[in-house]
Amino acid sequence: SDFCKIGVVEEIYIGGNMNNKFVKVGLAGLLAASMTACSNTPAEPSQEKTPDTANSGVYDVKGTGYGGEMNLKVTIADQKITDIELVDSHETNVVIDRAFPVIKERILEANSPVVDSVTAATFSSFGVKAAVADAMKQAGMDVEDITMTTQGPEKPASQREAETCDIVVVGGGPSGLAAAIGAKQTNANANVILVEKLDILSGNGKFDMNFFDIINTEAQKKAGNEEWTVNQVENFIESKSKSGESAERIEVWANQENELDAWLRAMGVELNYNYGGTNHMAEDNQYSGEVIQAGLEKTAKDLGVDIRTGTKGEDLILDGKDVIGVKVTNNDNESYDINAQAVIIATGGFCSNKELLAEYAPGYEVMNTSNQMGTTGDFVKVFEKNGFQMENMGKMSVFSNIIVPRRDLTGGADMNLLVNKAGELLNDNNGGLDRAAMVQGQLDGAAFYITDKTGYDSFYRIRKHVGLGYYAEGKTIEELAEALGVDAAGLKASIEQYNADAEAGAENAVLGEVPSRALDAEGPYYGVRVEPANHMTKGGVVANEKAQVLYEDGTVVKGLYASGEVTWQSGGYSQSVVFGKVAGENAAAELK
C-alpha cells in the first residue's frame, strides 16, 4: 500500500546493454504485487449481457500507472479486443501521449496484453496491460496474470538484408531530430533514416522546462531584454569565451542561437515567455520541452524522414578510416546494416550507465539521475576502439534536487530550506559529490526541500508540482512536518533560528551566510523529499564547428558527425539542438 501512496520510479535500468529488453531486478516482483494491491474492484461491463452478446461489450476498467490510477474503456466483441480508450490518467503527458498509441497497437494486434511494454514508459504500459487483462477476464476470456515483467513472446534473432540511404541519424532526441530536419531542409531529396532504440522519441528534451542560451528571440524583444537582442552575438561569444569550446565552435554556436527562435517559429514552435537572461518557456505556465519536441517530431515526419523507433544503433561500419554506415538491431530482434554517405550520432550521454560513470567519473555512480532511461552511452566504447578523440569524460553536471521517488527537477523558489528527518537544517550551498554524501549520510538518506507561499508564487515549476500533488502541504509548520514525516519540534526550532538570523542580518551557522529572507510567518508551507542527481555527462567525443568527429590526431573522420550530449559540449538543451541542425546541414551539403 505504500507504493500506492508514494508512487515509484518509471524505469529501473542497470548496466550498459539494453538488447531491447529491460534488465530484470528483484524489485519488479515486489512492485507487481504492490500494484495488484493498489487496484480497485473493476466496474461491471457498461452494457447488459444476453446469451447472444456474451463476451461482447464495453468494459470500464482501471489500472495503476506511474502517476496513479488510470481509467480505460476496453471494447471486446466475440473474443476479440477491438478498441482501447484511455479515459483519464495521472501519467506525465509527454510520455503517455507518445506511449499509449504504441501499447494500444501492440495489444490490438496480439489480441492480448501479453506484449512488450513501451520502453521509457514501463509503468504506464503495465497499467494499460493490467486493465485490459481485467476486461478480458470479465468477458470470460483466458489471459495470464500481468506483472511488471510481462512481455511478448521471445523473437528469434535474424539477419536482415542491408539497406542504403544518404544519411542515417542514430538517436531520436532533440539533437537527432534537429539533425534529420536540418538535413532534409538542406537537401529535400536526401534519403534520411533516423533510428531510436526506445519506443518513443524526444529523449530528455520533452521533460525540460527551460530552453536557455537562445538569443535574439521574440520573447526577449517583447520583454525589453536588450543584452540578448542588441549586439547579442558579440555578447554571446564573450559569455562563452571561457567555456572550453574552440573559438570556431563558439562562433557557429552564437550565430545559430541567434537564428534559432525564427527557425523554431517557422515550425510552429513558439517560446513566448522569457524569464530573464536567455531562459525561455513556451508560456509562463507551459514548459518549453513539450512544445519544442512535439514540433520537431511533427516537422521531421512532415519532411519525410524515415523514423524507426525500437531500433538500436550497435556499431559503426568503416571502410579503412572512413565511416560508411551503422549496424542496428530492432525490436523484432532483426540485425542489419544501414549503409550511408554520412552517419550522425546523437545518442546522448551516459548518466543512466553506472558502469561507465564508475569508469570515467568515479564516485558519481552512487547518485541517481534525472535522465530518462536511454542515456546509457552506447557509442562510448565504439568511439574509443576506433581511436576517436574523447574529452572531459569525467566532467559532470549535478542537479541539486530531484523529487524522490520521481525524477522531476525541483527547486527555483526565491528561498528554500533543506532539512533532514530530525528537522535539522542542512547546508544547501554545496553540490556534486559533497552534496550526495551529505544527503546519503542523513537518517534513511532523506532530505526535504521546504518553502512557503512566497516561494510557491516565485517559480512555476513548484506551482505545477504542488498542483500535481507531488508536494506535502501544511497550514502550519507542524502540519507540514507531520505530512513529511519530519520531527515537528526540530523543524520549528530550525526555522525559528533561520528566521532570527534573517531578521538580524546575521550569518546562519549551518549555511555560513546571511539568509536572504525569513520564511513567511503564516502558511501554507510546502515540502517534498529530494536528492541530488546526475543531470548531464559533459564529456564525450570531440566534434569540430561543422559537427564532424575527429580522430585523436585532430583529423576529420570522413562520413561521421556527432551532436548533443554524446559530444563534449559546455552547454545543454539548445546547444544540442543547434549542433544537431549543424550536423544535418553539413552532412546534406557534402552528399555526392
Three-point CA angle 70, 72, 77, nearest 5°? 155
**pTM for this model (two decimals):** 0.90
CB atoms within 10 A of CB 590: 17
The strand ranges marked E within 220-349 are: 273-274, 280-281, 306-309, 311-319, 322-330, 334-345
d(CA 565, CA 296): 18
* pLDDT confidence of residue 55: 77
User: Which residue's entry shows cell 517559429?
Assistant: 265
320: left (phi over 0), alpha (psi -120 to 50) or beta: left
Residue 75: phi and psi, rounded to 5, are -100, 125
* pLDDT confidence of residue 22: 34
- Give kind and range of the element (H or E) at residue 399: strand 396-403
- Is residue 51 predicted with pLDDT exceeding 50? no
Using a pLDDT cut of 90, give the percent of the chain over it.
Answer: 90
Strand, coil or helix: what is 503?
helix
Q: Tens of pLDDT along 372-416? A: 999 999 999 999 999 999 999 999 999 999 999 988 999 789 999
- Is residue 525 predicted with pLDDT exceeding 90? yes
Q: Tens of pLDDT along 426-463? A: 999 999 999 999 999 999 999 999 999 999 999 999 99
Residues with Cβ within 8 Å of 485's Cβ and at least 6 positions away in sequence, in order, are 421
- Is residue 546 predicted with pLDDT exceeding 70? yes
CA nearest to 198, candidates 390, 406, 463, 21: 21
Q: Tell me whether residue 531 is exposed, middle or buried, using C-beta atoms within 10 angstroms of its C-beta: 0 to 12, 13 to 18, 19 or more.
A: buried
d(CA 45, CA 26): 36
- Give kind and range of the element (H or E) at residue 387: none
Residues with Cβ within 8 Å of 436's Cβ and at least 6 positions away in sequence, in order, are 366, 367, 398, 531, 532
- Is residue 548 predicted with pLDDT exceeding 60? yes
- Is residue 74 predicted with pLDDT exceeding 50? yes
Contact criterion met (CB below 8 Å) for 387 and 552: yes
d(CA 7, CA 69): 11
* Helices and strands counted in the chain (H then E): 17, 22
Q: Tens of pLDDT along 404-422? A: 998 899 978 999 999 999 9
User: Which residue's entry shows cell 540578448?
Assistant: 228
Decide the pairing of beta strands 68-77 and 80-88. Answer: antiparallel
Residue 33's pLDDT band (boundaries 50, 70, 90)? very low
- Is residue 167 predicted with pLDDT exceeding 90? yes
CA nearest to 356, candidates 8, 12, 13, 72: 13
Helix 174-186 to helix 573-589 angle, to the nearest 10 degrees? Answer: 30
Residue 54's pLDDT band (boundaries 50, 70, 90)? low
d(CA 94, CA 292): 11
Using a pLDDT cut of 70, give the percent of the chain over it.
Answer: 91
* pLDDT confidence of residue 412: 85
The strand ranges marked E within 468-583 are: 472-474, 525-537, 540-541, 548-550, 556-562
Mean pLDDT on 241-264: 98
Mean pLDDT of the chain: 92
Contact criterion met (CB below 8 Å) for 508 and 343: no
Decide the pairing of beta strands 447-452 and 525-537. Answer: antiparallel
